[in-house]
A and B are shown apart, each in its own frame.
Chain A
């Protein structure tokens, strides 16, 4: 039974980009329609909010200056239908640092040896990229990669648009305390940076800008947990500070008491991630907190935003994970992330990356995904391959 072209158009628009690239070989007309921008927009739209199928992994920020490396790995079971062309990955690995990814677009900055720091958004599958004018503050700071606080957000409804958020430190790095950040937003469609009226006040602590959580119209950042406040200070314990993207208000969100009872501490590894998904059946999104202590991973989810009440949902001791490692896992060198709204905890030891399913408290399925060479505490950025357009100024990558 024959299926007509527009039927194929519809079906293909639900496929991940890698499969579409492969199936372009089916016949001439399929190859043609998959180049049309209406098709690409539809595909990006259909895949929006679906699970990410792979993740980038890079050395931690402070090492990125001298260790140029970007790896991309697929989640278990997704190897066939996800990924990017090898030459694109090599190109990114040699010349860029991946900052964020959303709906198939990847935000990067260049790490060439010449002076200029450049920002761009690219789609590795369509091999197109679009440069973003570098704000002045970043041009000065280029040698200190640790200060680049950028985030990417793509919305479902405006397929040509994307937003890049930059939080600029207003004080010189060497003066303390860092009291406020100017938030600048770049609108992909218009091609300009706009400054938010109200600044972000993160309280007294240093903030961990590389795992922002977009939720409830605000971006949430978790603080560090160093021991530099007295007990009477409101910032004694680590916390989350949210910045409302509409009106610019900064609000503190308390962390679960159980998580912070041993803080402040010399070493404490906590991260926040999106929890829950938006599907056609339900809309339950929240934030989760993952804490890696000396011996265990513990996860709490935020049950009620207004009252900051958390619920512990998961705990596993590192030694119970059954990892096949040559030597004991050095917990201080482990990096982790939560993918797909809480389906998986993905974490790395010195050389390997593992995933652990979070949907069943009793039966913790741990799988080894692959080996890696990104050193201790690598950065994870999850990714799914779409054909989303980079908007105006899109050009082909070399």
Chain B
């Protein structure tokens, strides 16, 4: 895909190539918000297609959509709600990790908050699976902790 190089930086677009080989275009000003991308541009120049090995074609368009809104100052509560509405917990995790890799701060914070909201009332087991961690407490430690924190378990609903 040929890239237009124009003299004014505001309409300049950058080509990004995902880990599974697809190419997407974003505005240079949006690319600035993703520090990893900006670093690669600084190293490789902005005329080349920037390779993003850890981001895939499923997530990148969504991220680009977010930053398109960001540079025009149109991010509202409703937009953000719509943005995550149809994503399940795993999809939002993948998006979150991509934002982390791209060092895209605003999206990263927004998704952290969203994940926290989703995890707020989930069980400890669910959270362990979500983060991919093992329960490394001994049974004695665990029962002691549960007892101390019994109050924080009040009112937990079953996992969906």
Task: Please give the residue numbers on chain A whose beta carbons come within 8 Å of chain B beta carbons, in ascending order.
Answer: 1-3, 7-8, 10-16, 18-19, 21-31, 46, 79-81, 83-86, 279, 281
Contacts and interface: CB of A to CB of B under 8 A. Distances in A.
A7 B151 contact: no
A26 B128 contact: yes
Chain B CB within 10 Å, residue with most, of A1, A11, A12, A281: A11
Contacts of B154: 79-80, 83
B73 to A, nearest CB: 11
B119 A25 contact: no
5 contacts: A21-B152, A22-B156, A27-B136, A28-B137, A29-B133
Contacts of A81: 120-121
Interface in B105-160: 108, 112-113, 115-117, 119-121, 124, 127-128, 130-137, 142, 145-146, 149, 151-157
Contacts, number: 100
Contacts of A3: 93, 97, 130-132
Given A10-B112, A14-B112, A22-B152, A80 B137 contact: no
A153 B127 CA distance: 35
A279 B135 CA distance: 37
B76 interface: yes
Nearest to B128: A26
A80 B156 contact: yes
A29 to B, nearest CB: 8
Contacts of A25: 124, 137, 142, 145-146, 149
B131 A8 contact: yes
Contact of B155 (A13, A21, A80): A80
Contacts of A16: 120
A146 B40 CA distance: 65
A83 B151 CA distance: 8
Interface string B61-102: 000000000000001110000000000000001101100100
B128 A27 contact: yes
A22 B153 contact: yes
